[in-house]
Amino acid sequence: MGRYIIRRTLWVIVLLFVVSAVTFLIFYTLPSADPAVLRAGKQPNPQLIEQIRHNLGLDKPVYVQYYRYMKGIILHFDFGFSYQDSQPVRKEIFSRLPATISLTFGAVVVWLLIGLPVGIISAIRRRTIADRVSMGGALLAISAPVYWLGLVLLYLFANDIGLVHIFDGAGTYTGLTADPGRWFGSLLLPWFALAASFAAFYARLLRANLIDVMGEDYIRTARAKGLPERRVIGRHAMRSAITPIVTVLGLDIGILLGGAILTETVFNIPGVGRLAYDGIINADLPVIQGTVLFGALFIVVANFIVDIAYAFLDPRVRYS
Amino acid sequence: MAALVFIVVLVLIAIGAPLIVKLVGARPPNQQGQQYLDLFGTPTGPTSKNIFGVDPLGRDIFSRVLYGARVSLEVAVVATGVAVVIGVAIGMIAGYFRGWVDTVLSRIMDVVLAFPILLLAIGLASACSLGNGCLGGVITPGLPVLILVIALASWPYIGRIIRGQVLSLREKEFVEAARSLGASNTRIIAKEILPNLVAPIIVYTTLILPTNVLFEAALSFLGVGVQPPTSSWGQMIADAVPIFDSAWWYMFFPGVALVITVLAFNLVGDGLQDALNPRSDR
Amino acid sequence: MRTPKALSAVLVACAVALVAAGCGGGGGSSTSGNASGNASSSGAAPQFSGGANVAANQGQKKGGTLNLITNEGWEHLDPGASYFQIDYLVEYAVHRPLYSYNPAGKVMPDLAAGPAQISKDGKTVTVHIKPNVKFSPPLNRVVTSADVKYAFERDFNPNVANGYAAGYYLIQGAANAKGGPISGITTPDKTTIVFHLTKSFGGTFVQSLTLPGSAPVPKELAGPGDKKSPTTYDTSPTKQAFTGPYMIKSYQAGRSLTLVRNPNWDPSTDYRPAYADKIVWKAGADPNVASRQTLASPNLLMADTVPAPVVKKAYQSQRKQLSVSPLGDYYATLNTSVPPFNNVNLRRAVVAAANRQGYLLARGGRLVGQVATHFIGPDNPAFKYAGGANGFGFDFLKNPAGDMTVAKKYMKAAGYPSGKYTGNAKVLIVGSNADPGPKEMQIVESGLQALGFKTTIKPVPQQTMYSKFCGYVKAHINVCPTAGWIPDFQDPYSYLYVPFSGKAIVPVNNVNWAVLNDPKINAAMDQAASITNDTQRLKAWANVDKMITSTAPAIPEIWSSNALVKGSSVKGVLDVWNDDWNLSFSSPQ
């Protein structure tokens, strides 16, 4: 087990290096805006541009630039400066993390609270009206893109422009520490918009798993022994049906923490995804590079945690 | 079944968009008309002339939604096709040969899956939309970029699944039998393993297809899709964002078209899964 | 050029404009003229301008906290690097350049003790500074001419990356100084600074001393940081030495900014009243939300552009909280250096076919400006000499919605007797992918297609448009339809020279997107810039405007207006030259 963890950890590190190298290569070699030119102002003479390029270290070969960049990260946890407003990228990402974390975990709570009960009820009451309606609804929710759902929700319910003024609208995000009440209010719509397709997916997944599991022999045995149905499902069936859900959940959280670009864009939430998107819009390489690396970090770490947890939960996983 | 009919209808609409627009008497999708805007440039809503309303350039949203189906389907189908071909090929090779081949290929899939894919896709797509494209001009701006990016992001999902299937298939008796008869690896893969993968390939293709319709729309929404004036649903929704409270129709109709399309593909996918997968009795 | 996000998709330099057109009681040529004769098409209604009382004097009171809100964050709060509309609000409240504009747009000696002295040949400019202006704590020392000299040296330092110095500060030895001493600046004593120029543009140079790049910077404080890229004077604005009435107390990039009073500021040396005790500014708000919130509030000032739908709502129901005033122009350049648009008649045909009304509607209709008929806008004193809103009467600019008959006439003159383009050149249109960029590209495309051109549209990020396409001469982009220009100071030089003089063409970051290099126009510009008599100079520039308009290097789209909103009881004072709030004149109540 110990060796397994060490090997997985090493792989995480290798993976992050590969991701950083690929991103670096893509964004530094493909045509985009030239940062030296961006900083040069109008009517620059060529020497000035060369000087700026030199000062930014952009006249060095790509591998030297990459080496310097990685050295900065490893030794000082320094992600460089934004070309746009000269602020340290690390600081910008950290200042955006609370919004992204709030959005992600709030949405997780919402989709679990909706998705799991719906999945269980549908599985138990299979082929009833309730099952058909909720599975139909789930399929619809999976088919609706979050940005469109967000716009429709805002159009219907936002308290500034909505047909019915109920929830705080776009761009009202307030920090948790600044005002917990407004934090909660401002995130309600984004949580529901983001959670919709996840809730649907989890409900479908859980239902399918439960149905599979309930066909297993040991469940039949438990039933035959006369155990109450509630106990059969709660105790035995759920336990094995929920394991894949935990796996998916871990991965989904990892992806969302890297920035829910679409949701953050529609609701104008100042999160990491929004920062990344603005970075691309502004051809701000250090910001793009930094946010992609952060996103990858979350995904890889989530994968890692899920694998380790899985190894603990399920003894059948071979540590190879 | 209804879903399948809808998809057939959708394909017909996409192909016959010019004809339908003519028959209905709607304006062509790129014809601007400022007479349909007010003094402040706000577009007008659904009327008998423009049944879905007009956009901020006074163009007919109905025709643009119809034409948008073309982009959506073309990109999703081609990208999915490319992804499936790559995914199946690599998945089979990894699963069949195992050992270091498997390790390398699986690790590559890990790397692709470790990227925040939407972010990478926007970055790649916007970079490749400049100049003469990227990768030495292989990938030109417009549809090819979209297709490449979407295929790139989705092949590892198929690859992983196929690899898993092949890992168990290769231990089956009929493969062993073929091998003991001296069949070459290529022959075994083509004649013994691939036919057994048809069902999962179909199921996962239909599962990925709607995801890729959404993926294309998301990229277009974020501004890296097809070049204007070609219309696409995602780009229309993005275009509607600044005025969605005063011109709901511009955001609404493209979105509905998108949702219905994805829903239809999902229904068909579900149906196929049930039909081809004997274990599930839903 | 600084990034013009606030006015999305525009190549904005920064602001200016002297005449308080229709706003806040400033005099001069107001802009209520009908854009043109054709009133049949929608959008031809007269431009709206005015709304709220934004005059310099509206009974403001001292004290209290002034609250601002914006969508945009600040880019550079370093006086040497700052080149952005909303950054200027801060810069002019915390730093004192040699000169600055008062809210009505009049040049005031700021750090300077009086008007500058220009030598007869126009090549030497001498400025005396006030002897008793002190830097803020902890520096606490008197500002000397050496601090101004160092400020100019920084402007040419690549680590500071000033956006305009090379274009306006034509000082001897500056171009290659790279942050080191500049031979053309001397300081005979502690209160005197002398500039030796490379051209006889002294009169114009003095106008450019209103830019924040002339605000003093102490070398002992900024020097070490200026050796780094980017300079730490820019990345840590709270550690600067301030001379204005306020100091930057706290700064969170893109999020929040707090200004407090500068204890070393002596009101007797300044024309600014500095009413508020404290200024709190929140950035990063959604523009729709922020503007609605501002309209509903008693005390908020929103300092960046209000989305068109909200402007419309404010116009309909809360006109007293809405300020609309002219600022700059937008045009679609036609590249005069490469086929097909190296043919003047072909360009005229394109201008004639263009639906300029459509541009106006795409930007929000009559509240965002009026259809332009030439380049110098109503915000400039030369406007009235350039025919005002009616322009010079060229037939290809007569109908704002486009005129295919006139277009055909010029197509024939260009050698296409059928009236349709039959050549094989493919027209490449490149513009910003941010709204309304794509709309403008499609409008220009539809006009070109009507004339038979084959076209390709390429929407790209704005920065990319500047650095890889429209501003990169070798890219030979045929049409750049999302160009806009906000002059940096009130002289027409700043309106026309950089965008249209052949002498201003540079290989990268070029702003003359039409690559117009007409020796006659170049000479006329140089001659105009050398005139010292104000009226004569304005008239000469108006004539330059006519020459440019006649050669059709661009489709003049609109003269734009900037719309701002304020809370119901806050007293917002508009800087007409920047078309944004003046923090030292506005007051919470």
Q: What percent of chain A has pLDDT over 70?
A: 95
Buried b (16+ CB within 10 A) or exposed e, C250-276: ebbbbbebbbebbebbeeebbebbbbb
Confidence tier at C328 by pLDDT (50, 70, 90): confident
Tell me if C286 and A268 make a contact (CB, 8 A cut-off): yes
Chains near B (3 or more Cβ pairs under 8 Å)? A, C
Evaluate whether C280 touches C67 at the Cβ level (below 8 Å).
yes
Pairing of strands C300-302, C426-432: unpaired
Tell me whether A13 touches chain B (CB under 8 Å).
Answer: no
CA distance C442 to chain B (A): 7
Confidence tier at C380 by pLDDT (50, 70, 90): confident
Q: Which pLDDT belongs to residue C432?
A: 86
Q: What is the mean pLDDT of chain C?
A: 87
Tell me if B130 and C460 make a contact (CB, 8 A cut-off): yes
pLDDT at residue B79 greater than cutoff 60: yes
Tell me whether B34 touches chain C (CB under 8 Å).
Answer: yes
Tell me whether B2 touches chain A (CB under 8 Å).
Answer: no
Tell me whether B7 touches chain A (CB under 8 Å).
Answer: no
B14 vs B8: CA distance, rounded Å: 10
Q: Which pLDDT belongs to residue C144?
A: 96
pLDDT at residue C38 greater than cutoff 50: no
Q: Which pLDDT belongs to residue B279?
A: 55
Per-residue pLDDT reduced to its tens digit, C87-125:
999 999 999 999 999 998 889 999 999 999 999 888 999
Q: Which residues of chain A are at the C interface, by a Cβ-Cβ cutoff of 8 Å?
A: 31-34, 37-49, 51-52, 55-56, 81, 84-88, 91-92, 95, 160-161, 169-172, 268, 270, 280-283
DSSP for C46-99?
A: PPP-EES---S-S---S-SEEEEE-SSPPS--STTT--SHHHHHHHHHH---SE
Burial of B19 (0-12, 13-18, 19+ CB in 10 A): exposed
C131 vs C321: CA distance, rounded Å: 41
Evaluate whether A65 touches A269 at the Cβ level (below 8 Å).
no
Tell me if A281 and C434 make a contact (CB, 8 A cut-off): yes
Range from A212-226, C66-80, C256-270, C298-312 that averages highest in pLDDT: C256-270
pLDDT at residue B127 greater than cutoff 80: no
The lowest-confidence range among A49-58, C86-95, C142-151 is A49-58
Tell me whether C166 touches chain B (CB under 8 Å).
Answer: no
CA distance B38 to chain C (A): 7
Mean pLDDT for C158-180 is 88
For an interface test with A, which of B117, B215, B282 has the most A Cβ atoms less than 10 Å from its Cβ?
Answer: B282
Confidence tier at C28 by pLDDT (50, 70, 90): very low
Evaluate whether C238 touches C251 at the Cβ level (below 8 Å).
yes
Per-residue pLDDT reduced to its tens digit, C289-309:
889 889 999 999 999 888 888
Tell me if C361 and B34 make a contact (CB, 8 A cut-off): yes
Q: Which 40-69 residues of chain A touch chain B by CB within 8 A?
A: none
Look up residue A117 and give its amino acid. P
C358: chain B residues, CB-CB within 8 Å = 32, 34, 57
Q: DSSP 3-state assignment of C555?
A: strand
The lowest-confidence range among A232-236, C164-168, C438-442 is A232-236
Cβ-proximal residues to C34 (8 Å cutoff; 6+ apart), any chain: C44, C46, C389
Candidates C74, C164, C229; nearest CB to A55: C229
Look at phi and psi of residue C548 and say left if phi exceeds 0, alpha if psi is from -120 to 50, else beta. alpha
B193 vs C94: CA distance, rounded Å: 75
Residues in chain B: 282
Q: Which pLDDT belongs to residue A51?
A: 82
The lowest-confidence range among A9-18, A152-161, B124-133 is B124-133
Tell me if C3 and A84 make a contact (CB, 8 A cut-off): yes
B111 vs C373: CA distance, rounded Å: 57
Mean pLDDT for A226-244 is 79
pLDDT at residue C7 greater than cutoff 50: no
Q: DSSP 3-state assignment of B7?
A: helix
Tell me if C166 and A282 make a contact (CB, 8 A cut-off): no
Per-residue pLDDT reduced to its tens digit, C549-577:
999 999 999 998 888 999 999 999 999 88
DSSP for C100-139?
A: EE-TTS-EEESSBSSPPEE-TTS-EEEEEB-TT-BPPTTT
B280: chain A residues, CB-CB within 8 Å = 208, 211-212
Mean pLDDT for B50-71 is 92
Evaluate whether B42 touches C309 at the Cβ level (below 8 Å).
yes
Per-residue pLDDT reduced to its tens digit, A5-20:
888 889 889 988 998 8
pLDDT at residue B282 greater than cutoff 50: no
Tell me if C506 and A92 make a contact (CB, 8 A cut-off): no
Pairing of strands C185-189, C99-101: unpaired
Candidates C41, C311, C461; nearest CB to B34: C41
Which of C275, C355, C296 is closest to C584 using CA atoms?
A: C275
Range from A186-190, B15-19, B43-47, C261-265 that averages highest in pLDDT: C261-265
Q: Which pLDDT belongs to residue C11?
A: 34
Q: Which pLDDT belongs to residue C16?
A: 28
Q: Which pLDDT belongs to residue B77?
A: 93
A259: chain B residues, CB-CB within 8 Å = 116, 119
Q: Is the dihedral of CA B120, B122, B123, B129 positive or negative?
A: positive
Q: Which residue of chain B is at minimal alpha-carbon distance from A279?
A: B123
The lowest-confidence range among A46-60, B208-222, C332-346 is A46-60
Residue B43 structure tokens: 């577009």
> From the centroid of its chain, how far is CA B257?
15
Q: Give the ipTM.
A: 0.89
Mean pLDDT for B41-47 is 89
Tell me whether B129 touches chain C (CB under 8 Å).
Answer: yes
Tell me if B127 and A145 make a contact (CB, 8 A cut-off): no
C487 vs C470: CA distance, rounded Å: 19
pLDDT at residue A55 greater than cutoff 90: no
Burial of A320 (0-12, 13-18, 19+ CB in 10 A): exposed
The lowest-confidence range among A114-118, A267-271, A279-283 is A279-283
Residue A115 structure tokens: 């998705």
Q: What angle do CA A20, A22, A24 make, to 5 degrees?
A: 65
Q: Which pLDDT belongs to residue C47?
A: 59
Q: Which pLDDT belongs to residue C289?
A: 83
pLDDT at residue C22 greater than cutoff 60: no
Q: Which pLDDT belongs to residue C44?
A: 40
H helices present in C236-355, as ranges: 287-296, 308-317, 344-353
pLDDT at residue C10 greater than cutoff 60: no
Mean pLDDT for C370-386 is 92
Q: Which residue of chain C is at minimal alpha-carbon distance from A50?
A: C158
pLDDT at residue C8 greater than cutoff 60: no
**Looking only at Cα atoms, what is the longest distance across chain B?**
81
Range from B221-230, C52-61, C453-462, C536-545 that averages highest in pLDDT: C536-545
B76 vs B72: CA distance, rounded Å: 6
CA distance C577 to chain B (A): 25
Quote the DSSP letter at residue C342.
T
Q: Which one is predicted more confidently, A162 or C543?
A: C543
Q: What percent of chain A has pLDDT over 90?
A: 31
Entry pTM: 0.84
pLDDT at residue C40 greater than cutoff 60: no
CA distance B217 to chain C (A): 17
Tell me if C468 and A31 make a contact (CB, 8 A cut-off): yes
Cβ-proximal residues to A264 (8 Å cutoff; 6+ apart), any chain: A99, A100, A103, A270, A271, A272, A273, A274, A277
Confidence tier at A264 by pLDDT (50, 70, 90): very high
CA distance A8 to chain C (A): 38
Cβ-proximal residues to A289 (8 Å cutoff; 6+ apart), any chain: A20, A23, A24, A27, A69, A79, A80, A89
C175: chain A residues, CB-CB within 8 Å = 45
Cβ-proximal residues to A85 (8 Å cutoff; 6+ apart), any chain: C73, C74, C75, C76, C253, C254
Q: Which 264-323 residues of chain C touch chain B by CB within 8 A?
A: 288, 307-309, 311-312
Tell me if B39 and C43 make a contact (CB, 8 A cut-off): yes
Q: Which pLDDT belongs to residue B132?
A: 60
pLDDT at residue C158 greater than cutoff 90: no
Q: Which pLDDT belongs to residue C17?
A: 28
Candidates C1, C166, C468; nearest CB to A33: C468
- Give the A:C interface size as CB pairs under 8 Å: 139
